[in-house]
Amino acid sequence: MDTQLLLICFLTFVIHLIGTLAYSVRIAGVRTRRIAVSFALFSILVLVSRTSNSFLGPFLAKRVESNLAGTMATNLLSDFRWLLISASLATIAGAVLIPTFQRVFCRAVDHFQVHRSVPKLILHGFFKGGLSYVKHSATLPAAANVSGLRGKNSVSLSITLLNVGAVALWTVGVFASLYAGALDPAVRVTSSTLSAIINGGATIMMAVFIDPHMSGMTDDVVEGRVSEAEFRHAIVWLVGSRLAGTMLAQALLVPSAMLIVFVARAV
């Protein structure tokens, strides 16, 4: 694995790590009863994810072009497999970090309520004891929450399966569009713009089914109709289904790329 591929794997890791940690924001919002503030503060990390994503595409496209031009001898399919492995590893890392992150995030929400300043919050996090608080808050997922996977499912089977499919499609979308350009270089520019063919399905599933379901459940917890324990079990199921989705993306990579090639030729 060369340096360029390591960098691309790192960017992929960051994107999926932040995506997994987003689940803990709901837990922090429920515990602090400040859901809107929690999501607003999490947007800072979303900016990091989007910045990583803005570099990921060009770096990966350059790698494909170099391979096609013969200036770089590499197995592109193997490269994309490594990127998908990075996504799975990031999901596992995010799952392990969720308890620590939600504790730190609750502290950040409380600090923001006092000072109402994001710059002050960032300075406090890095220079005024914030890092030491992270150290003291570090903890592994509770066994009771993990064992919830073997108990009653707090999320319906349909939502769980939809989340698996949505994550798989979202994970593989951009990769498939770029790999399609390697399968048929004659339409590689068109193929690179057709990731929405794959990502579109993920966007619809998340916007129509998954996000409204989780938002409703979050409100139910705040209003006392659902216990926090049930909500944590639901998060465990969603994180597990997210990991399954990144693994399913391995199987969808080549078929998705072939579909994009077909559409690119037909356009």
Instruction: Residue 17: give the domain boundaries.
Output: 3-266
Count of domains forming the chain: 1
- Rounded CA-CA distance 171/252 in Å is 10
- Mean pLDDT, to the nearest integer, of 57-67? 87
Q: Do 38 and 109 contact (CB within 8 A), yes or no? A: yes
Paired tokens of 244? 């399954």
Instruction: Using the predicted structure, report yes or no on whether residue 144 has a pLDDT greater than 70.
Output: no
Q: Which residue in the block uniquely carries the two structure tokens 């996977």? A: 149
Please report which residue ranges of the chain form alpha helices under DSSP H.
Answer: 3-32, 35-69, 76-115, 118-127, 130-137, 143-146, 157-183, 188-192, 196-205, 211-223, 228-266
Q: Which residues contact 164 (CB under 8 A, 6 or more apart)?
A: 241, 242, 244, 245, 248
Q: Which residues contact 175 (CB under 8 A, 6 or more apart)?
A: 60, 80, 83, 84, 249, 253
Instruction: Using the predicted structure, report yes or no on whether residue 199 has a pLDDT greater than 80.
Output: yes
Q: What is the pTM of this model?
A: 0.87
How sure is the predictor about 36, in pLDDT bands with cuts at 50, 70 and 90? confident
How sure is the predictor about 149, in pLDDT bands with cuts at 50, 70 and 90? low
Q: Which residues contact 33 (CB under 8 A, 6 or more apart)?
A: 222
Paired tokens of 259? 């579909």
**pLDDT per position as a tens digit, 161-187:** 999 999 999 999 899 999 998 899 888
Nearest to 174 by CA among 5, 20, 57: 57
Cβ neighbours around 202 below 10 Å, total = 23
Lowest mean pLDDT among 5-19, 92-106, 253-267: 92-106
Nearest to 98 by CA among 139, 126, 136, 131: 139
How sure is the predictor about 126, in pLDDT bands with cuts at 50, 70 and 90? low
Lowest mean pLDDT among 7-16, 17-26, 87-96, 131-140: 131-140
Lowest mean pLDDT among 16-25, 71-80, 124-133: 124-133
Q: Roughly what angle, to the nearest 10 degrees, separates helices 76-115 and 228-266?
A: 140
Q: Which residue in the block uniquely carries the two structure tokens 């890392």? A: 93
